[in-house]
Amino acid sequence: MQSLAMIENWPVPAAAAAVVRADGKVAGAYGPTSRRFPLASVTKPLTAYAVLVAYEEGAVELDEPAGPEGATVRHLLAHTSGLAFDEHRTAGAPGTRRLYSNAGFEVLGEHVAKATGIPFADYLREAVFEPLGMGSTTLAEGGSPAKDGVSTVDDLVRFAAELQTPRLLDPRTVLAAMTVVHPGLSGVLPGYGFQKNNDWGLGFEIRDAKSPHWTGAASSPHTFGHFGQSGTFLWVDPAAGAACVALADRPFGPWAVEAWPPFTDAVLAELAGAQE
């Protein structure tokens, strides 16, 4: 895919990207796709998937208490638990605001570890990384389930393929993960400011009509995924029948705000052209 070469123009020391279709076939790749990059918040979808595996295994229930009083596993996954951004303190009542929270995902890791008797980093590896063949992806023991993952484009392509054609989870569970939880809640999308409808599913941000946004103008409202402050993103666009992963080694900033949307639009245009 020629559009992937646009990463050559990004003002970063190194970057890699790939596109994978819903059938699992890689449509294109560019750059050092086997290089390990810090994921920052792209760790969260991986953590969420492990939590959903624990749910399907019967270790946890989505509506069981977890986190602040009145909050549940579902609230934590959807950033509606009321926990503050980076502090283990309550900043709002559960279910009333979209408060993006690293602390909430750390509580999720602790909750699953307690329920399964397995340290969360080990559970994540056994539940997600090993079954998908993600041998270069790690969460260090004691690392934050919100932001301390390390991976490669090659590995995340496997995860992106799983999101489109699930093997580890029931497709109905994945559909629930990409469906808005507590619709209509407003909140701040980190890096992009206040959003009147700051929609999230179970661990995945949902594009809907957010503006501004890190995906493209051509991205469908059903697009879901995550970006990270380390200069990383993963999106799945069901309307396009494809997903895209891009990893870089420069922290998120104005360069990404400028570069990512036209990159995504070029990828989508090339995918659409290939289908005609």
What tens digit of pLDDT does each residue of 108-133 get? 999 999 999 999 999 999 999 999 99
The predicted model gives 197-206 an average pLDDT of 96
Complete domains list, the chain, with CATH: 2-275 (3.40.710.10)
What pLDDT score was predicted for residue 276? 61
Mean pLDDT, to the nearest integer, of 219-238?
A: 98
pLDDT at 87 (0 to 100): 86
pLDDT of residue 86: 87
- What the block records as the tokens of 107 is 């509580």
Name the pLDDT band for 273 (thresholds 50, 70, 90).
confident
- Mean pLDDT in residue range 185-206: 94
Q: Is residue 141 scored above 90 in pLDDT?
A: no
Q: What is the mean pLDDT of residues 134-143?
A: 95
Distance CA 248, CA 231 (A): 5
The whole-number average pLDDT for the span 24-29 is 96
Burial 148-185 (b: 16+ CB within 10 A, else e): bbbbbbbbbbbbbbbbbebebbeeebbebbbbbbbeeb
Closest CA to 197 of 9, 167, 75, 205: 205
How large a percentage of the chain has pLDDT more than 70?
A: 100
Q: Is the pLDDT of residue 170 over 70?
A: yes
Beta bridge mates, 227:
233
- For the whole model, what pTM was predicted? 0.96
Mean pLDDT of the region 182-203: 94
Burial class (CB in 10 A: 0-12, 13-18, 19+), 193: exposed
Q: What pLDDT is stored for residue 109 in this prediction? A: 97
Which of 101, 200, 90, 207 has its CA nearest to residue 146? 101
Helix-helix angle 102-116:43-56, to 10 degrees: 30
**How far is residue 267's CA from residue 253's CA, in Å, rounded to a whole number?**
21
Q: Give me the percent of the chain exceeding a pLDDT of 90.
A: 96
Q: Mean pLDDT over all residues of the chain?
A: 96
